[in-house]
Chains A and B, each alone.
Chain A
Amino acid sequence: MLKMKFLAAVFLVCVITTVASIYLFSINKQPDTQLVEFTTPFVFGRFQIPQDNPLTVESVKLGRRLFYDPLLSKNNKVSCASCHKQSLAFTDGLALSVGVSGKSLPFNSMSLVNLMWGPKHFFWNGRSSSLEDQALQPIEHVDEMGSNLDDLTEELSEIKAYQILFEQAYGELNAASIAKALANFQRTLVSSNSRYDQFLRGEVSFSRQEEFGRKLFMAHPDTKVSLRGGNCIDCHSQFLTSGFSSVFDGFSNNGLDDDINLAEGLYGLTKLEAHRGLFKAPTLRNIAVTSPYMHDGRFKTLEEVLAHYNGGIKRSKTLSPLIIEADNLADTKAEHISLNLAPHEVLAIISFLHTLTDESFLTNKAFSDPFKTGELND
Chain B
Amino acid sequence: MIKPLKIIGLVSVSLLICIAIVWYNTVPKQLTVRFYPFLGNKPLVLNNAKYPNPGGEGEFTIRDFQFFISNLELTNNRNNYKEQESYHLARFDVGKAYYEITISEISVSNFQQLVFNIGIDRKANGTIVIAGDLDPNSRMAWNWQVGYKFLLLEGSLFTQEQQQPLVYHIGFNESYTRLNFPLNSNTVSNDGIIKLKVDILTLFNQAELIDMNEIPNVKFDPEDVAKIANGFKHFISIL
Closest chain B CB from A137 CB (angstroms)? 26
8 closest Cβ pairs, A-B complex? A321-B165, A237-B137, A325-B165, A224-B221, A324-B165, A218-B143, A222-B219, A274-B47
9 A-B pairs in the complex with CB atoms less than 8 angstroms apart: A43-B128, A46-B130, A220-B169, A222-B219, A227-B220, A249-B139, A274-B46, A321-B63, A333-B162
Find residues 69-121 in chain B having any chain A CB closer than 8 Å to their own CB.
89, 91, 93-94
Closest chain B CB from A46 CB (angstroms)? 6
Is A274's CB under 8 angstroms from B137's CB? no
Chain A residues closer than 8 Å to B169, beta-carbon distance: 220
Is A238's CB under 8 angstroms from B139's CB? no
Is A245's CB under 8 angstroms from B94's CB? no
A244 to B152, CA, bound (A): 15
* Contact of B155 with A by CB under 8 A: yes
Q: How many of B's residues come within 8 Å of A, CB to CB?
A: 33
Chain A residues closer than 8 Å to B155, beta-carbon distance: 321
Is B137's CB under 8 angstroms from A244's CB? yes
Chain B residues closer than 8 Å to A44, beta-carbon distance: 137
Least CB separation from A247: chain B residue: B93
Least CB separation from A315: chain B residue: B163
Least CB separation from A221: chain B residue: B219
Total inter-chain residue pairs, C-beta < 8 Å: 89
* Contact of B191 with A by CB under 8 A: no
Is B91's CB under 8 angstroms from A247's CB? yes
Chain A residues closer than 8 Å to B156, beta-carbon distance: 321
Closest chain B CB from A317 CB (angstroms)? 10
Is B63's CB under 8 angstroms from A238's CB? no
CB-CB under 8 A for A321 and B162, given A224-B221, A245-B135 = no
Q: A243-270 vs B: 1/0 string, CB under 8 Å?
A: 0111101000000000000000000000
Is A239's CB under 8 angstroms from B137's CB? yes
* Contact of A306 with B by CB under 8 A: no
A117 to B164, CA, bound (A): 33
CB-CB under 8 A for A240 and B220, given A233-B143, A247-B91 = no
Q: B131-144 vs A: 1/0 string, CB under 8 Å?
A: 00001111101111
* Partner among B93, B139, B220 whose Cβ is within 8 Å of the Cβ of A222: B220
Closest chain B CB from A114 CB (angstroms)? 10
Closest chain A CB from B101 CB (angstroms)? 16
Least CB separation from A324: chain B residue: B165
A43 to B130, CA, bound (A): 9
In the complex, given contacts A233-B141, A244-B139, A246-B139, what are 6 additional A-B residue pairs having Cβ atoms less than 8 angstroms apart? A44-B137, A219-B143, A238-B143, A321-B154, A321-B166, A332-B217
* Partner among B46, B141, B167 whose Cβ is within 8 Å of the Cβ of A321: B167
Chain B residues closer than 8 Å to A325, beta-carbon distance: 165, 167, 216-217
A240 to B141, CA, bound (A): 12
Most buried by B among A237, A240, A246, A333: A246
Least CB separation from B95: chain A residue: A272
A136 to B167, CA, bound (A): 40
* Contact of A225 with B by CB under 8 A: yes
Least CB separation from A335: chain B residue: B162
Least CB separation from B143: chain A residue: A218
Closest chain A CB from B64 CB (angstroms)? 8
CB-CB under 8 A for A220 and B165, given A238-B144, A245-B137 = no
* Contact of A273 with B by CB under 8 A: yes
Show the binding face of B for A, using Cβ within 8 Å.
Answer: 46-47, 63, 89, 91, 93-94, 128, 130, 135-139, 141-144, 154-156, 162, 164-167, 169, 216-217, 219-221, 224
Chain B residues closer than 8 Å to A14, beta-carbon distance: none
Is B136's CB under 8 angstroms from A274's CB? no
* Partner among A225, A238, A247 whose Cβ is within 8 Å of the Cβ of B136: A238
Q: A16-44 vs B: 1/0 string, CB under 8 Å?
A: 00000000000000000000000000111
* Partner among A42, A117, A225, A239 whose Cβ is within 8 Å of the Cβ of B220: A225
* Contact of A50 with B by CB under 8 A: no
* Contact of A45 with B by CB under 8 A: yes
Is A225's CB under 8 angstroms from B221's CB? yes
Closest chain B CB from A47 CB (angstroms)? 11
A273 to B216, CA, bound (A): 24
Closest chain B CB from A313 CB (angstroms)? 12
* Contact of A322 with B by CB under 8 A: yes
Chain A residues closer than 8 Å to B219, beta-carbon distance: 220, 222, 224-225, 227
Most buried by A among B63, B128, B220, B221: B220
A42 to B144, CA, bound (A): 14
CB-CB under 8 A for A43 and B136, given A224-B224, A324-B165, A325-B217 = yes
* Partner among B93, B137, B143 whose Cβ is within 8 Å of the Cβ of A240: B137
Least CB separation from B94: chain A residue: A272
Most buried by A among B130, B137, B224: B137
Chain B residues closer than 8 Å to A333, beta-carbon distance: 162, 164
